[in-house]
Chain A
Amino acid sequence: DAGVTQSPTHLIKTRGQQVTLRCSPKSGHDTVSWYQQALGQGPQFIFQYYEEEERQRGNFPDRFSGHQFPNYSSELNVNALLLGDSALYLCASSIRDRAVETQYFGPGTRLLVL
Chain B
Amino acid sequence: AQSVTQPDIHITVSEGASLELRCNYSYGATPYLFWYVQSPGQGLQLLLKYFSGDTLVQGIKGFEAEFKRSQSSFNLRKPSVHWSDAAEYFCAVGPGRNSGGSNYKLTFGKGTLLTVNP
Interface size in chain B (residues, C-beta < 8 A): 26
Question: Is B46 touching A104 in the complex (CB atoms < 8 A)?
Answer: yes
Question: Is B104 touching A33 in the complex (CB atoms < 8 A)?
Answer: yes
Binds B, one of A11-19, A67-75, A78-86, A95-103: A95-103
Given A56-B105, A105-B36, A43-B44 contact (CB < 8 Å): yes
Question: Is B110 touching A108 in the complex (CB atoms < 8 A)?
Answer: no
Residue of A nearest to B42 (CB): A107
A1-58 at interface with B (beta carbon < 8 Å): 4, 6, 31, 33, 35, 40-45, 48, 55-56, 58
Q: Is B74 an interface residue (CB 8 A)?
A: no
**Proximity bits, B79-93, A CB within 8 Å = 1, else 0:** 000000000001010
Cα distance, A102 to B49, chains bound together (Å): 8
Q: Is B45 an interface residue (CB 8 A)?
A: yes
Q: Is A66 an interface residue (CB 8 A)?
A: no
Question: Is B104 touching A41 in the complex (CB atoms < 8 A)?
Answer: no
Interchain nearest-CB distance for A23 vs B (Å): 11
Contact of A90 among B44, B94, B109 (CB under 8 A): B44
Cα distance, A55 to B110, chains bound together (Å): 25
Cα distance, A45 to B103, chains bound together (Å): 11
Contact of A101 among B4, B44, B90, B104 (CB under 8 A): B104
Known: A33-B104, A56-B105. 13 other contacts (CB 8 A): A6-B43, A35-B106, A41-B110, A41-B111, A42-B4, A42-B90, A42-B108, A43-B90, A48-B105, A92-B44, A102-B46, A107-B43, A108-B42
Q: List 20 A-B contacts (CB under 8 A).
A: A6-B43, A33-B104, A33-B106, A35-B106, A41-B111, A42-B4, A42-B108, A44-B108, A45-B105, A56-B105, A90-B43, A92-B44, A99-B97, A100-B94, A101-B94, A102-B34, A102-B46, A105-B44, A106-B43, A108-B42
